[in-house]
């Protein structure tokens, strides 16, 4: 036991009560731990002064720790969008972003260190995949943004570094913790995926089994209105055709009863033509869904461009003319390289 690290962040109130009892303390010590972990955001056991000093020393000797990440860099954009580079205990770095508006604070969280999907428009995939994140490393991102921005997060999007459906167990555990322990409703949580074969049915079943209900939003990163173009942008599309992806989306909807959202990054002069908007409308018509248009945030390694506002609005108008529910995401933090993975890559190059 002394050589194996035990992390407390991510454990439930009942888990922490059992932990306290197992380590020779009354159950209420577990409730004290719970309060300091989630309400107060303690970073070290030494901060939790309500616990006996002797027990804190004992836990430290037994390799028990809270499991918080270390802030490596922080960038705040003119619109107050805040990007954090956080260091893990094994020396890796991950990104998280706090996106504020007057009435909400959205946290964009990472699920992996790097990514194996290799989408050509994404900075994260340029470095490949190092590993998946543990539950506490996902939850910490929300706590870190809350701490830095001195404001309670209201919405969570699993849309940062990595592919969430290649880390389903930790993602579902993190959703449970964010919902139950940090009080963020499932309906304010979005899980975004580029689409991984055989994972959507598994996600639906595991969500019902482990969360009791699947009320979070599933967002599919579609980014193309046809198979040919999608294969050019997203390598996994070659083994997971759009037709099969949409079949799995309908299965997910039938199992969970939750509407599916489709994310569509608009790339200038590539997938933003009016005829492609008509194709996209035909693709998702008759489907209980929503299309979220995202103007591209340029990265140095690729030649993709951000479309003009005129082309963005024209694309949106075509979808609306077909009766498709559509929204346009306003770009945030552009002056601080807001595209996912950029901060991590810049830090690696400078260190």
Task: List strand residue ranges (DSSP E) for the chain, in order.
Answer: 6-7, 64-65, 70-76, 82-87, 93-100, 105-109, 112-114, 129-132, 155-158, 189-193, 217-221, 260-266, 289-295, 326-328
Q: Which residue out of 95, 137, 163, 263 is catalytically annotated? A: 95
How many Cβ atoms are within 10 Å of 64's Cβ, its own excluded?
18
Q: Among the three residues 16, 50, 65, which one is the final residue of a domain in this structure?
A: 65
Q: Among the three residues 23, 45, 65, which one is the final residue of a domain in this structure?
A: 65
The string of pLDDT tens digits covering residues 304-334 is: 999 999 999 999 999 999 999 999 987 666 5
Q: Among the three residues 65, 92, 107, which one is the final residue of a domain in this structure?
A: 65
In total, how many domains does the chain have?
Answer: 2
Q: Give how far Cα 186 sits from Cα of 204, 218, 243, Å.
A: 14, 11, 28
DSSP letter (8 states) at residue 38:
I
Residues 76 and 194 in one domain: yes
Of 7, 89, 1, the C-alpha closest to 45 is: 7
Is residue 118's pLDDT more than 70? yes
Q: Is residue 200 one of the residues assigned to a domain? A: yes
130 φ/ψ angles, rounded to the nearest 5 degrees: -95, -50
> 328 is written with which tokens?
């346009």
Q: Is residue 1 one of the residues assigned to a domain? A: no
Q: Is residue 90 one of the residues assigned to a domain? A: yes
Q: Which residue out of 108, 122, 177, 340 is catalytically annotated? A: 340
68 vs 332, more confident: 68
CATH number, domain of 207, equals 3.20.20.70
What pLDDT score was predicted for residue 228?
97
Domain range for 294: 70-350
Residues 252 and 111 in one domain: yes
Instruction: Tell me whether residue 95 is one of the annotated catalytic residues.
Output: yes
Q: Are 115 and 166 in contact (CB under 8 A)?
A: no
Q: Is residue 267 one of the residues assigned to a domain? A: yes
Q: Give how far Cα 37 sits from Cα of 23, 45, 265, 324, Å.
A: 18, 10, 37, 43
Q: Is residue 191 one of the residues assigned to a domain? A: yes
Q: What is the pTM of this model?
A: 0.93
Instruction: Tell me whether residue 340 is one of the annotated catalytic residues.
Output: yes
CA–CA distance, 220 with 224 (Å, rounded to integer): 11
pLDDT category of residue 1 using cuts at 50, 70 and 90: very low
Instruction: Locate all alpha helices (DSSP H) within 98-159, ordered by sequence.
Output: 135-149
Residues 330 and 277 in one domain: yes
Residues 97 and 57 in one domain: no
The string of pLDDT tens digits covering residues 154-208 is: 999 999 999 999 999 999 999 999 999 999 999 999 999 999 999 999 999 999 9
The string of pLDDT tens digits covering residues 256-283 is: 999 999 999 999 999 999 999 999 999 9
The string of pLDDT tens digits covering residues 20-66 is: 999 999 999 999 999 999 999 999 999 999 999 999 999 999 999 99
The string of pLDDT tens digits covering residues 53-64 is: 999 999 999 999
Per DSSP, the three-state class of 305 is: coil
């Amino acid at each position: 036991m002394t050589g194996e690290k035990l992390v407390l962040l991510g454990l439930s109130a009942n888990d922490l009560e059992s932990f306290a009892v197992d380590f020779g303390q009354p159950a209420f010590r577990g409730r004290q731990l719970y309060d300091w972990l989630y309400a107060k955001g303690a970073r070290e056991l030494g901060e939790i002064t309500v616990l006996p000093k002797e027990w804190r020393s004992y836990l430290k000797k037994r390799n028990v720790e809270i499991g918080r990440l270390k802030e490596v860099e922080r960038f705040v954009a003119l619109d107050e969008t805040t990007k954090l580079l956080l260091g893990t205990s094994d020396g890796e770095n991950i990104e998280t972003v706090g996106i504020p508006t007057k009435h909400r604070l959205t946290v964009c969280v990472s699920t992996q260190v790097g990514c194996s999907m290799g989408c050509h428009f994404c900075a994260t995939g340029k470095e490949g995949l190092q590993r998946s994140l543990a539950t506490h490393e996902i939850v910490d991102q929300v706590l870190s943004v809350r701490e830095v921005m001195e404001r309670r997060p209201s919405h969570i999007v699993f849309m940062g570094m990595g592919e969430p459906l290649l880390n389903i167990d930790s993602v579902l555990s993190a959703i449970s913790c964010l919902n139950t322990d940090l009080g963020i409703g499932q309906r304010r949580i979005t899980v975004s995926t580029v689409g991984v074969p055989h994972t959507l049915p598994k996600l639906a079943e595991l969500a019902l089994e482990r969360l009791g209900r699947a009320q979070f939003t599933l967002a599919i990163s579609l980014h193309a209105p046809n198979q040919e173009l999608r294969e050019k942008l997203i390598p996994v599309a070659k083994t997971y055709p759009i037709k099969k992806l949409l079949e799995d989306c309908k299965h997910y909807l039938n199992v969970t009863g939750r509407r599916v959202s489709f994310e569509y990054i608009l790339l200038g002069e590539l997938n933003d033509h009016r005829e492609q908007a008509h194709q996209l409308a035909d693709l998702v018509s008759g489907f209980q869904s929503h299309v979220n248009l995202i103007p591209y945030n340029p990265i140095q390694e690729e030649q993709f461009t951000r479309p003009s506002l005129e082309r963005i609005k024209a694309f949106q108008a075509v979808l609306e003319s077909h009766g498709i529910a559509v929204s346009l995401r306003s770009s945030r933090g552009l002056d601080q390289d807001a595209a996912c993975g950029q901060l991590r890559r810049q830090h690696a190059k400078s260190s």
